[in-house]
Copies of this chain bind each other. A is one copy, B any other.
Amino acid sequence: MSTNETLHLLTHHRSIRHFKDQALSNETIQALLQAAQRTSSSMFMQQFSIISVTDPALKKQFAEITTYPFTQSNGHLFIMVADQHRNAFIGQEAHEDTHLLHDGDRSLAAFDDAALAGQSIVTAAESMGLGAVILGSILNDAQQVIDLLHLPKLTFPIFGIAVGYPSENPDLKPRLPLSSVHFENHYQEPDPKELDAYDQTIAAYYAKRSTNTRTETYRHHILHDMQVSPKKRSQILTVLKNQGFFTN
């Protein structure tokens, strides 16, 4: 098969969590934003916004929420925002009924649009030799993020993206076997034997990787995270509904 630079990038993605304390140039940030903007959106409604967190006091608060100190010193911190507020604004200008924007479909559309654009930022960053990590951990306190960023109704911060100059070169982390995640025509139930084999693969990876070695299989990881969630994170549905999403 013909390979190319982009395929190589996509199939060699590693999340980067250690960065040089070096800001991105404005030109680089603009290039990342342009990649995000060009991404597909549901029904061409562009239901996302992006907030760059540059204020040191704000960054400190994100370091506390995410528990990742590097959000203070990485190159740049983006927050991806699902956004039906802009459409609601257009509806209100025209005195039109905006109730559809709150339904499950339009809620998912906004969350999809923000996620798709976020992935374009990650890929664009990696193409420039930068490293990136998606920070779901901003949801450890979604309400605080909403307050800090002054997010109005019908917006929601789905994740952050820390981008910067990498100061680590982590190993590739093995994924589930393709046969466990890709099916033809019909969904297939998980195969315990495939999970057994993958457990061994992950245990070997954690035991041998260059940093942060540990003894853990994939099932251990899943079972642990199935039992434990930060309290505010397990209450996100309330925040989502307060923001006006998934209400009809």
Q: Which residues of B contact A49 (CB under 8 A)?
A: 181-183, 187
How far is it, in angstroms, between the C-alpha of A18 and the C-alpha of B106 when the chains are bound?
Answer: 26
- Quick one: CB contact mask for A176-204 with B, threshold 8 Å, 1 for yes? 10101111111101101001000000000
Minimum CB–CB distance from A96 to chain B (whole Å) comes to: 6
Nearest neighbor of A55 in chain B, beta-carbon distance: B185
Nearest neighbor of A248 in chain B, beta-carbon distance: B237
- Quick one: CB contact mask for A1-31 with B, threshold 8 Å, 1 for yes? 1111111011111010000000001011011
How far is it, in angstroms, between the C-alpha of A76 and the C-alpha of B12 when the chains are bound?
Answer: 24
Among the listed stretches A67-75, A113-121, A163-171, A207-215, which one makes contact with chain B, having 4 or more residues with CB under 8 Å of it?
A113-121
Q: Which residues of B contact A190 (CB under 8 A)?
A: 85-86, 89-90
Minimum CB–CB distance from A87 to chain B (whole Å) comes to: 5
A65 at interface by CB-CB < 8 Å: no
- Quick one: CB contact mask for A82-101 with B, threshold 8 Å, 1 for yes? 01011101110110111011
- Quick one: CB contact mask for A35-64 with B, threshold 8 Å, 1 for yes? 101111011111011111111001000000
Nearest neighbor of A89 in chain B, beta-carbon distance: B190
Q: Which residues of B contact A7 (CB under 8 A)?
A: 31, 35, 124, 127-128
Chain A positions near chain B (C-beta within 8 angstroms): 1-7, 9-13, 15, 25, 27-28, 30-31, 33-35, 37-40, 42-46, 48-55, 58, 81, 83, 85-87, 89-91, 93-94, 96-98, 100-101, 103-106, 108-109, 111-112, 115-116, 118-120, 122-124, 126-128, 133-134, 136, 139, 149-152, 155, 158-159, 172-173, 175-176, 178, 180-187, 189-190, 192, 195, 219, 221-223, 225-227, 229, 233-240, 246, 248
